[in-house]
Chains A and B, each alone.
Chain A
């Protein structure tokens, strides 16, 4: 069993839709949870960073962590064609030092104009 599971998609939605992206994990020691966005032929860029359980909002993006279910989500409101990319979840046991990230496989999102 992989430590982090993520549906690879592809996920296609119309412009303006609410998008829900999810990951599950098996290691209860994970405490730091991240979402990265990766455009084609580019490196990943950090979108959201969350410690432990709870919600975090940044503009159109909301990250949720449910440690009891080992489940994390990223919601995108009012999706735009520019949001079309691969979204990678990542997590680690520790912040900062020894912050070895374990990535999901990524979900390919296409927002249709």
Chain B
């Protein structure tokens, strides 16, 4: 079974630029999560999808961050415009459904904002 795929693995941008990250969850997994992991901290949930609907986006900075999962499979997270404090690893995770206890994480995208 293929794991959670993310791209790109690394991205360096200037502040105020835009950036987008892509995630393809494990096949058949209905629930998808985006986390932000700042160096030296644990992952923090940004947004959670169930199929193509948003379950929780309470910690997503909506003035600059957006995410979509239009067809209920892969997902895109966008930052526009980026700030220095957005430098972090962005992790995508998926689980079979809302009743599943285990989340499977992708390798993450390391973002550096200069």
Contact = CB atoms under 8 A, between A and B. Distances in A.
Contacts of B101: 32, 49, 95-96, 99
A101 B102 contact: no
A98 B101 CA distance: 10
A25 interface: no
Nearest to A106: B42
B9 to A, nearest CB: 9
B100 A105 contact: no
B98 A44 contact: no
Given A43-B108, A95-B101, A100 B40 contact: no
Interface string B1-14: 00010000000000
For chain A, what secondary structure do more than half of its interface residues adopt (helix, strand, loop), or is it mixed? loop
Contact of A103 (B4, B43, B100, B107): B43
A60 interface: no
A46 B43 CA distance: 13
Contacts of B97: 96
- B: contact size bracket: 20 to 34
A90 interface: yes
A29 interface: no
Contacts of B41: 105-106
Interface in A1-57: 4, 6, 8, 32, 41-46, 49
A88 interface: yes
B45 A46 contact: no
A104 B41 CA distance: 7
Nearest to A6: B42
Given A41-B107, A43-B108, A103 B102 contact: no
A-B CB proximity, top 10 nearest:
A103-B42, A43-B105, A96-B99, A97-B98, A44-B105, A103-B43, A46-B102, A43-B106, A43-B107, A105-B42
